[in-house]
C-alpha cells in the first residue's frame, strides 16, 4: 500500500476528510510542515511518513487508501 508523490501533494494541498482519525491527524500535521516549506525534500519526507503509516495500519486504512488512489 503506497501512494505517489502526486497523490501526497494532492492530499497536502486540499481539504479531504478521511475516515481514520489517526490519518487525519497525520495529514493535518504534515500540511502545516508542507505549508511552511513546500520544497521537494519536504514533499518526499511527507510521502515517506504517509506511506509508513499506510503500511503499518494497512488493515484499517483500506477505505482511505482506496479514496487516495483515485486522486
The answer to whether 1 touches 61, Cβ cutoff 8 Å, is yes
Report yes or no on 61 lying in a domain.
yes
pTM: 0.91
Nearest-CA neighbor of 20 among 58, 50, 56, 64?
A: 64
Percent of the chain scored above 70 by pLDDT?
A: 100
Report yes or no on 14 lying in a domain.
no
State the total domains in the chain: 1
Cα distance between residue 14 and residue 60, in whole Å: 22
Report yes or no on 26 lying in a domain.
yes
**Domain residue limits at 51:** 5-9+20-69
pLDDT over threshold 90, residue 1: no
Cα distance between residue 58 and residue 35, in whole Å: 27
Amino acid at each position: 500500500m503506497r501512494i505517489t508523490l502526486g497523490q501526497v501533494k494532492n492530499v497536502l494541498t486540499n481539504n479531504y476528510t478521511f475516515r481514520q482519525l489517526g490519518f487525519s491527524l497525520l495529514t493535518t500535521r504534515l500540511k502545516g510542515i508542507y505549508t511552511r516549506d513546500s520544497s521537494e525534500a519536504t514533499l518526499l519526507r511527507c510521502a515517506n511518513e504517509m506511506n509508513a503509516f499506510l503500511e503499518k495500519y494497512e488493515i484499517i486504512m483500506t477505505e482511505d487508501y482506496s479514496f487516495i488512489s483515485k486522486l
